Amino acid sequence: MNEQRLRDITLALAGVFQAASLVRDLAKTGKVDESIYETTISSIYKIDAENVAAVFNNEKGVSIGLKELTKLLNSNKSATDPYIGRYVISLLHLERKLRKNPEMQSQLKRRVIYAISQANYFAHTHPTVIASLADIYLKTLGTLPFRIQIVGQAKFLNQPEILNKVRALLLAGVRAAVLWRQMGGSRFQLLLARNKLVNTAKQILKNT
């Protein structure tokens, strides 16, 4: 595996971790870092990006994900929220299910293209657009037998606006998981190349 390929795989995987981290924050506190949230949501719209970094605007745009990836793959349990790991595994599992369903892939692409037109008219994180992204998740990935169980405060998860944000972030997480797979990511790497992924993530963070 050459250096650029490893870098791309690490960045895409960090995108999954970042979406998982934001879902955790919303479910537990009802709040997220707005700039990171917007970057993560906007990654859904970057279907023709020049490279992996461009999907997240730049490498700095996925810094939270890189930090969480480093914590988890370093097996530093004391510094890692267990729910982030669970959400990451669930998002990768959804990607696997999606990969085996070409019809759903086509439906997702059509609906995301429409959401892009909405985002261009309103704003990338406008409530109308987020509701549309949430509906895309619900009507496609949400119909699969596998369900991601979100753990948090009921007072937040019972709010339609927050629930829409959570579903939109799950969609962004699966989008990053698809990118990770396209770049050559695999589950075996999470076991056999953990150190390489961690070292690459640390190097990217050092330079951003």
Burial 114-146 (b: 16+ CB within 10 A, else e): ebbebbeeeebbeeebbbbbbbbbeebbbeeee
Give me the half-sphere count of Cα atoms (radius 13 Å) on the Cβ side of residue 193.
16
Region 47-59: mean pLDDT is: 95
How far is it, in rounded angstroms, from Cα 44 to Cα 56? 9
Per-residue confidence (pLDDT) for residue 80, from 0 to 100: 67
Q: Is the pLDDT of residue 53 over 90?
A: yes
Q: Is the pLDDT of residue 76 over 70?
A: no
Please report which confidence band the pLDDT of residue 74 belongs to, taking 50, 70 and 90 as the band edges. confident
The tens digit of pLDDT for each residue in 125-179 reads 999 999 999 999 999 999 999 989 999 999 999 999 999 999 999 999 999 999 9
Superfamily in which the 3-206 domain is placed by CATH: HflD-like (1.10.3890.10)
Region 54-71: mean pLDDT is: 96
- What mean pLDDT value characterizes the chain? 95
Percentage with pLDDT > 90 across the chain: 89
Asked if residues 174 and 122 have their Cβ atoms less than 8 Å apart, the reply is no
Please report which confidence band the pLDDT of residue 78 belongs to, taking 50, 70 and 90 as the band edges. low
Per-residue confidence (pLDDT) for residue 191, from 0 to 100: 87
Region 48-62: mean pLDDT is: 96
Per-residue confidence (pLDDT) for residue 35, from 0 to 100: 96
Domain residue spans of the chain:
3-206
